[in-house]
Chain A
């Protein structure tokens, strides 16, 4: 404690008040632009950040189970205000300023790294005034706070470093990620093959909106087993009009699928790729991927 600098009641005080105010305001104004979408700092704890990334750019939060932790980012404006109030009252502000500054620098680093990934995907990007003001405010209140220079430097570095390491781990996770095994995934819908085909025939736009990329369990009588080989086979359900649903198999189910034949009653599960009207066949074609045979 002997080395702790005294509280600055002069220029340093008013500088800290100004920087804390900047940090608070900057949190709510634009940090980055992804194409035409303006993203603020507060969009991370509100969930807008990953919602926009997923809806517009197909880049979802890889760890949605940790969404609750994003709420901690509200500490940035909260501690910016606390720092401001402590400074006005000539109180020690080191802890509050450090928390606000570290979190803000951490978040700006995440924004840069994530925005670079979107840029790699072809999204146009630019940084808004809120981003630069946040860096100035965050670094500024750490430097202006009443604590030793050693601590100030550690607090300046620790946020970006933690963000970079976390992001690198998350990026590797996304890169190495595989689809969840269909066997271990609950079905969104269970229905008969004839009903499924009928629903697509009645209007494939509505059926596609309902079933695409959903996991379906489909029960029916095999009309044909196509291309059975050591590594792959397709089970097909066809209705009286020639419209059909088709399920390709490989891997874990292939041994059992190869034993099947036309006329067998089976239950299969897969990710629905949707239905299209085939110009070649003149029928509705509903296809699936990542299929497994359900145990009877």
Chain B
């Protein structure tokens, strides 16, 4: 009897823990490294995996680098090449962090919130701490999060003549969008 109770309690507890975590496999990460002399280096990745813990504010993203879709095939080849993302060797990029002002953001209650997310962004095997702003909207249990920020390519050992020549922005803009149901 005691054993059954313990198992039931464990199942209930496990269920409630997982219920805090919402995931999606269709978050979007847009990359824009265009400059005044080159409008080709930009892409959207629309199949990004993301998770948010509504209680603790833990946020995670994970993207298949090769799913970044460029309009120009040559640019896509360069992006995935070993001088840039080296996506054969480093097929994913990821982020794991926390909403630092989680006490100001009630993800269980309808409303619009301004959050600060701090964590580790891993690109091409290099990890860097980043701190970015995010706008979060909660409506009917659906959480929509957006964030705009930029990253320094040099922080991830991405450099070269196109960057120096101004054909690729040194600090590309990253736009993140995710909807958690």
Residues of chain A having any CB pair with chain B under 8 Å: 57-60, 119-123, 174-175, 177-179, 208, 212-213, 226-227, 232, 234, 236, 244, 246, 248, 250, 273-276, 278-281, 285, 287-290
Give the interface of B toward A (CB within 8 A): 23-26, 40, 46-47, 49-51, 60, 62, 64, 66-67, 69, 71-74, 76-78, 80-81, 83, 91-92, 94, 159-162, 165, 167, 179
Query: Closest approach, in angstroms, between the C-beta of A263 and any C-beta of chain B?
Result: 18
Distance in angstroms from A149 CB to nearest chain B CB is 40
A227-B26 in contact (CB<8A): yes
Q: Decide: B23 and A281 in contact? CB cutoff 8 A.
A: yes
Interface contact A234-B46, CB-CB below 8 Å: yes
Of B71, B92, B161, B179, which contacts A227 at CB under 8 A? B179
| A122 in contact with B159 (CB, 8 Å) | yes
Q: Tell me the dominant secondary structure on chain A's binding face.
A: mixed
**Majority-rule SS of B interface residues:** mixed
In the complex, chain A residues whose CB is within 8 Å of the CB of B62: 276, 278-280
Q: Does the CB pair B83–A273 fall under 8 Å?
A: no
Q: A121-B78, A179-B73, A246-B25 are in contact. Are A273 and B159 (CB under 8 A)?
A: no
A284→B66 CA distance, assembly (Å): 15
In the bound complex, residues from chain B placing their C-beta under 8 Å from that of A60 are: 74, 77
Residues of chain A contacted by B64 (CB below 8 angstroms): 273-276, 285, 287
Establish whether residues B71 and A280, one from each chain, have CB atoms under 8 Å apart when the complex forms.
no
**In this complex, which of B64, B73, B167 has the most chain A Cβ atoms within 10 angstroms of its Cβ?**
B64
Best-surrounded residue of B67, B69, B92, B162 (most CB of chain A within 10 A)? B67
The answer to whether A289 and B77 have CB atoms under 8 Å apart is no
CB distance from A129 to the nearest CB of B (A): 25
Contacting residues, chain B, for A289 (C-beta < 8 A): 67, 69
Q: List 18 A-B contacts (CB under 8 A).
A: A57-B81, A58-B78, A59-B77, A121-B83, A121-B160, A121-B161, A122-B83, A177-B72, A178-B71, A226-B25, A244-B25, A246-B26, A248-B46, A248-B69, A275-B64, A278-B62, A280-B49, A285-B47
Cα separation A276 to B65 with both chains bound (whole Å): 10
Tell me how far the C-beta of A161 lies from the nearest C-beta in chain B, rounded to whole angstroms. Answer: 25
| Residue contact A58 to B40, C-beta cutoff 8 Å | no
- Write the chain A residue with the least CB distance to B65: A273
A26 to B66, CA, bound (A): 42
Check A122–B69 contact: CB distance below 8 A.
no
Contacts of B25 in A (CB 8 A): 226, 234, 236, 244, 246, 281, 285
